[in-house]
Amino acid sequence: MTTYYRTTNVMDIKVIQGAIQKQDADVLVVNLFAGARPGGATGAVDQALGGQISAAIDLGDFEGKAGQTLLLYTHSQILAPRVLVVGLGEQEGFDLERARRATGTAIGTLGRLGANSAATILHGTGAGNLPVEPAAQAVAEASQLAA
Q: How many CA atoms lie within 13 A of 14 on its CB side?
A: 11
Report helix angle 132-146 to 96-113, nearest 10: 40
Contact between 56 and 83 under an 8 Å Cβ cutoff? The reply is no
Cα→Cα distances 142→75, 89, 137, 139, Å: 30, 18, 8, 5
Q: What is the pTM of this model?
A: 0.89
CATH of domain 2-146: 3.40.220.10
Interval 103-112: pLDDT, tens: 999 999 999 9
d(CA 8, CA 11): 8
Interval 79-130: pLDDT, tens: 999 999 999 999 999 999 999 999 999 999 999 999 999 999 888 888 888 8
